[in-house]
C-alpha cells in the first residue's frame, strides 16, 4: 500500500495495473464487534478505484456503499456507515461498517456467490478489505425462487434489478415513507401496478384521501367514491355509530351512548334476519335496520315515564339522526336505498371477489365530509379484518389494505386510543398476518405515526425525509445493519429510496423505474411560473367551481 505502516505487507501488488481493482485490497480491519467493525481505508487505493469502469468499484468506500471483508475462506459483505480522517499520518480513513451477510468465493475469479444473511465467521483484526464489484452484487441481489416484482435499479449499479419478494413484503406489512414532492405517490402506484400485474386475481383495497389514484388505476381497477360507494350505514358497529351520531362529551356522552346502544339493538332485532339468527344478535351485529325504526324507538323511549334521564339525550341523538338523513353529503352512507341486505354484494365489490382482472379497488374519500372521514376509514378497515376472521375455514383470500396519509389515522401512542380507526389499524398491524390481511401505510410524517405500529411493519421503504425528527424516528425503527443506508436518506434524489426488511434480500438503495404518464397518480405540483403566464376563461371557470361547490361535487 502507498502509506508505510498502513497495512501489513502480504506480497500483494499495490498497483492496479497488475490486476483488477476489485481483486486488490483497499483497507484493513482494526476492530471487530458483533454487528460491524472499524476499518482503515487507504486514500490512494480509493483514488485508484474511483477511475474504475465498474461503477460499483468506483464508489468503493463511500457512505452507504458495500465492501467485502476476508474471513477465512468466506467473504463478508458490509455496508459503510460513517467515516473520519485518522489523527496520524498513515492511519488512513477510519470507517465504521455494518455486516450484512456472507458468501462463498469462486476460486478462479474471487467473485462472491451463494450469499446469505447473517454472519457465521467473523474476521480478525488485520483482515483485508476489498472493493465490491458489480458481479458480486449481481450474485447478492439475484432473486431466489420466491415470487417477486422488479421496481427499479440497485444503486450504484446501472443494470442490477431491485426486487421485492411478494409474500414476505405483503405478509408482514410494509410502510412507504417520504417527504412531499419526493415521488412517493408515483412510487406507490408503481409498486401496486407491479403487484397487480403479477397477481391479476388479487384483492387490494386502497384508501385514497386526495383523489389522486383514480387516473392511475382507471383501466386496471375499480374506482369507488362518494357517488357510487353505497356503504350501508347498518354495517357500522356500535363504536362507529357513536362517532357519527353522538356529539356530546364527558358524562353526557356516556349517557347518550347507553341510550343509543339500547335503541340500536332494538332496531336491529326488528329485521327478519334477526329471527333466523336465533337471538344471537348484539348491538355490533351487521344486521340491517331502518333509520325510521331507530327514530321511532328513540321517540318511544323518550316518552317513557320511568326513564332514568331527561329528554335531552334522546333529543340530541334524534336531531343528529335527522341532520344526517337530510344532508346529501351523507347519502353514500345514509341513503334510503341502502336498507336492503346488500352486505354480500358490497364486500365482493370492495374486496374484488372475484377480481375479474381488476384486482384493486380505489376508495376515494376526498368527497366524504371531513368530520366522518376517519370513521369511514375505520369501517372499511374493520370490514377487511372481520371478513378475514369470519372466512377462516374457507380457501384463504388474502387482502391488501393500503392507507395513504396514515399519520392521520394511526397517530402517535398518546392519541391512538381516541379513535376507532387508530385501534383497528393498530390491530391489523399486530394480528393481520395471522388472518391473511396485509397492511401498507404511506405517510410523509413518520414521526407522527404510532411507533408501536411502525415496529410491526416488516418492510420499510424510505424516500428522502427532510425533517430531522422524521429521520431519527425511521432510523430507530430500522435494523442495525441498515444504519449506513439510513444516513443517506437526506441526500436521496427524487424517486430514490432505501429499502430494508423482510421484503428484500438485504438493505438496498434503489432508483425507481419510470412509470408511464397514463399510469401515474394525479399528484404533480402545479407550475406557478407557467400557469401564471396564461390568461382567459377565468369567469367560466369560477362559475363552474361555484356550481360544484354548492352541489358538493354532484
Residue scoring higher pLDDT (517 or 91): 517
Mean pLDDT of 168-187: 94
Q: 362 to each of 349, 411, 454, 497, how far by Cα in Å?
A: 11, 23, 23, 25
pLDDT at 112: 81
pLDDT at 8: 45
Contacts of 330 (CB under 8 A, 6+ apart): 324, 369, 372
Instruction: State the cell numbers at 405.
Output: 396519509
3-state SS, 140-180, equals HHCCCCCCEEEEEEECCCCCCEEEEEHHHHHHCCEEEECCC
Instruction: State the cell numbers at 27.
Output: 483497507
Per-residue pLDDT for 29 more than 60?
yes
User: How many Å from the N-terminal Cα to the C-terminal Cα in the chain?
Assistant: 75
Q: Are 22 and 28 in contact (CB under 8 A)?
A: no
Mean pLDDT of 251-267: 94
Q: Please give the torsion angle defined by the CA atoms of residues 27, 29, 30 and 35, in that order, rounded to the nearest 10 degrees.
A: 130
Residue scoring higher pLDDT (222 or 551): 222
| Rounded percentage of the chain residues whose pLDDT exceeds 90 | 54
Instruction: State the cell numbers at 324.
Output: 344526517
Between CA 83 and CA 313 the distance in angstroms is 67
pLDDT at 279: 67
Between CA 16 and CA 248 the distance in angstroms is 77
DSSP 122-139: PPPTT-EEEEPPHHHHHH
pLDDT at 287: 93
| Pick from 14-28, 172-186, 187-201: least confident | 14-28
Q: Say how many C-beta atoms besides its own lie within 10 A of residue 547's C-beta.
A: 9
Query: Mean pLDDT for the chain?
Result: 87
Per-residue pLDDT for 513 more than 90?
yes
With vertex at residue 502, the alpha carbon angle to CA 499 and CA 507, rounded to the nearest 5 degrees, is 35
Q: Say how many C-beta atoms besides its own lie within 10 A of residue 336's C-beta.
A: 10
With vertex at residue 295, the alpha carbon angle to CA 289 and CA 296, rounded to the nearest 5 degrees, is 95
| Phi/psi-derived region of residue 251, left when phi > 0, alpha when psi is between -120 and 50, beta in every other case | alpha
- List the strands of the sheet with 148-154, edge to edge: 161-165, 148-154, 508-512, 496-501, 459-462, 174-177, 437-443, 399-403, 204-208, 360-364, 221-224
Looking only at the bridges linking them, the beta strands covering 459-462 and 508-512 are unpaired
User: Where does the pLDDT of residue 211 fall: very low under 50, low under 70, confident under 90, or very high at 90 and above?
Assistant: very high
3-class secondary structure, 288: coil
> What are the tens digits of pLDDT across the range 493-507?
899 999 998 999 888
pLDDT at 359: 96
User: Where does the pLDDT of residue 554 fall: very low under 50, low under 70, confident under 90, or very high at 90 and above?
Assistant: low
3-class secondary structure, 310: coil
Per-residue pLDDT for 90 more than 80?
no
pLDDT at 108: 75
**Which stretch of DSSP H or E encloses residue 465?**
none
Per-residue pLDDT for 11 more than 80?
no
Q: Say how many C-beta atoms besides its own lie within 10 A of residue 440's C-beta.
A: 25
Per-residue pLDDT for 321 more than 80?
yes
Phi, psi of 76 (to 5 degrees): -100, 135
pLDDT at 479: 65
pLDDT at 3: 43
pLDDT at 13: 41
Computed on alpha carbons and rounded to an integer, the radius of gyration of the chain in Å comes to 29
Per-residue pLDDT for 129 more than 70?
yes
Mean pLDDT of 87-107: 85
3-class secondary structure, 552: coil
With vertex at residue 522, the alpha carbon angle to CA 517 and CA 524, rounded to the nearest 5 degrees, is 85
**Which stretch of DSSP H or E encloses residue 58?**
helix 55-58
> What are the tens digits of pLDDT across the range 34-76?
889 999 999 999 999 999 999 889 988 888 888 999 888 889 9
* pTM exceeding the 0.85 threshold for the entire prediction: yes
Q: Are 241 and 298 in contact (CB under 8 A)?
A: no
**Which stretch of DSSP H or E encloses residue 148?**
strand 148-154
3-class secondary structure, 513: coil
pLDDT at 480: 57
User: Where does the pLDDT of residue 309 fall: very low under 50, low under 70, confident under 90, or very high at 90 and above?
Assistant: confident
Mean pLDDT of 504-526: 87
pLDDT at 15: 43
Between CA 69 and CA 73 the distance in angstroms is 11
Q: Are 46 and 141 in contact (CB under 8 A)?
A: no
Q: Say how many C-beta atoms besides its own lie within 10 A of residue 97's C-beta.
A: 27
Kindly state the DSSP code that residue 181 receives in the 8-state scheme.
Answer: T
Mean pLDDT of 409-418: 66
> What are the tens digits of pLDDT across the range 338-385?
788 889 999 999 999 999 999 999 999 998 999 999 999 999 999 999
Between CA 377 and CA 386 the distance in angstroms is 14
Per-residue pLDDT for 10 more than 60?
no
pLDDT at 552: 64
Between CA 74 and CA 357 the distance in angstroms is 47
User: Where does the pLDDT of residue 238 fall: very low under 50, low under 70, confident under 90, or very high at 90 and above?
Assistant: very high
Q: Are 497 and 462 in contact (CB under 8 A)?
A: yes
3-class secondary structure, 221: strand
User: Where does the pLDDT of residue 111 fall: very low under 50, low under 70, confident under 90, or very high at 90 and above?
Assistant: confident
pLDDT at 318: 93
With vertex at residue 41, the alpha carbon angle to CA 39 and CA 42, rounded to the nearest 5 degrees, is 150
Residues in the chain: 554
> What are the tens digits of pLDDT across the range 432-477?
999 999 999 999 999 888 888 888 999 999 999 988 888 888 887 7
Alpha helices in 335-419 (DSSP H): 343-350, 370-390, 406-409
Amino acid at each position: 500500500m502507498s502509506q508505510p505502516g498502513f497495512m501489513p505487507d502480504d506480497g500483494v501488488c499495490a498497483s492496479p495495473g497488475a490486476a483488477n481493482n476489485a481483486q486488490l485490497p483497499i483497507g484493513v480491519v482494526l476492530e471487530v464487534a458483533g454487528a460491524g467493525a472499524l476499518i482503515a481505508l487507504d486514500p490512494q487505493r480509493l483514488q485508484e478505484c474511483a477511475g474504475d469502469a465498474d461503477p460499483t468499484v468506483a464508489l468503493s468506500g463511500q457512505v452507504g456503499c458495500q465492501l467485502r471483508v476476508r474471513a477465512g475462506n468466506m467473504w463478508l459483505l458490509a455496508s459503510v456507515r460513517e467515516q473520519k480522517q485518522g489523527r496520524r499520518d498513515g492511519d488512513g480513513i477510519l470507517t465504521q461498517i455494518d455486516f450484512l451477510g456472507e458468501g462463498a468465493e469462486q476460486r478462479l475469479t474471487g467473485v462472491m456467490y451463494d450469499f446469505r444473511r447473517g454472519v457465521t465467521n467473523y474476521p480478525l483484526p488485520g483482515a483485508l478489505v476489498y472493493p465490491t464489484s458489480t458481479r458480486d452484487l449481481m450474485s447478492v441481489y439475484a432473486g431466489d425462487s420466491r415470487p417477486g416484482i422488479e421496481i427499479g435499479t440497485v444503486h450504484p449499479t446501472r443494470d442490477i434489478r431491485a426486487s421485492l419478494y411478494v409474500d414476505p413484503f405483503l405478509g408482514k406489512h410494509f410502510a412507504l415513507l417520504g417527504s412531499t414532492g419526493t415521488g412517493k405517490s408515483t412510487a406507490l402506484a408503481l409498486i401496486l401496478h407491479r403487484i397487480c400485474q403479477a397477481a391479476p386475481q388479487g384483492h387490494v383495497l386502497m384508501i385514497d384521501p386526495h383523489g389522486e389514484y383514480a387516473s392511475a388505476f382507471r383501466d386496471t381497477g375499480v374506482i369507488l367514491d362518494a357517488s357510487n360507494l353505497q356503504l350501508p350505514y347498518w354495517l357500522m358497529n356500535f363504536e362507529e355509530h357513536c362517532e357519527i351520531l353522538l356529539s356530546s362529551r364527558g358524562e353526557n356522552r356516556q349517557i347518550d351512548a347507553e341510550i343509543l346502544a339500547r335503541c340500536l339493538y332494538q332496531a336491529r332485532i326488528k329485521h327478519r334476519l334477526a329471527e333466523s339468527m336465533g337471538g344471537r344478535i348484539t348491538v355490533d351485529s351487521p344486521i340491517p335496520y331502518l333509520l325510521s325504526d331507530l327514530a321511532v324507538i328513540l321517540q318511544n323511549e323518550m316518552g317513557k315515564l320511568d326513564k332514568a334521564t331527561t329528554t335531552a339525550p334522546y333529543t340530541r341523538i334524534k336531531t343528529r339522526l335527522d341532520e344526517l338523513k337530510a344532508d346529501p353529503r351523507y347519502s353514500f352512507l345514509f341513503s334510503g336505498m341502502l336498507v336492503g341486505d346488500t352486505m354480500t354484494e358490497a364486500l365482493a365489490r370492495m374486496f374484488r371477489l372475484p377480481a375479474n382482472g381488476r384486482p384493486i379497488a380505489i376508495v376515494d374519500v376526498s368527497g366524504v365530509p371531513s368530520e366522518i372521514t376517519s370513521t369511514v376509514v375505520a369501517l372499511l378497515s374493520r370490514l377487511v379484518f372481520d371478513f378475514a376472521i369470519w372466512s377462516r375455514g374457507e380457501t384463504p383470500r388474502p387482502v391488501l389494505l393500503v392507507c395513504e396519509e396514515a399519520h392521520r389515522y394511526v397517530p402517535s401512542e398518546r392519541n391512538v386510543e381516541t379513535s376507532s380507526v387508530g385501534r383497528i389499524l393498530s390491530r391489523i398491524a399486530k394480528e393481520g398476518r395471522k388472518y391473511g390481511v396485509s397492511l401498507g401505510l404511506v405517510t410523509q410524517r413518520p414521526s407522527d405515526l404510532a411507533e408501536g405500529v411502525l415496529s410491526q411493519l416488516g418492510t420499510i421503504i424510505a424516500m428522502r425525509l427532510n425533517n430531522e425528527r422524521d429521520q431519527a424516528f425511521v432510523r430507530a425503527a430500522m435494523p442495525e445493519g441498515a444504519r449506513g443506508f439510513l444516513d443517506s436518506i437526506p441526500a436521496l434524489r427524487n424517486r430514490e429510496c432505501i429499502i430494508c426488511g423482510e421484503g428484500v434480500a438485504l438493505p438496498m438503495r434503489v432508483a425507481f423505474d419510470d412509470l408511464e404518464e397514463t399510469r401515474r397518480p394525479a399528484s404533480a405540483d402545479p407550475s406557478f411560473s407557467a400557469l401564471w403566464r396564461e390568461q382567459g376563461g377565468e369567469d367560466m371557470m369560477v362559475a363552474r367551481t361555484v356550481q360544484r361547490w354548492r352541489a358538493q361535487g354532484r
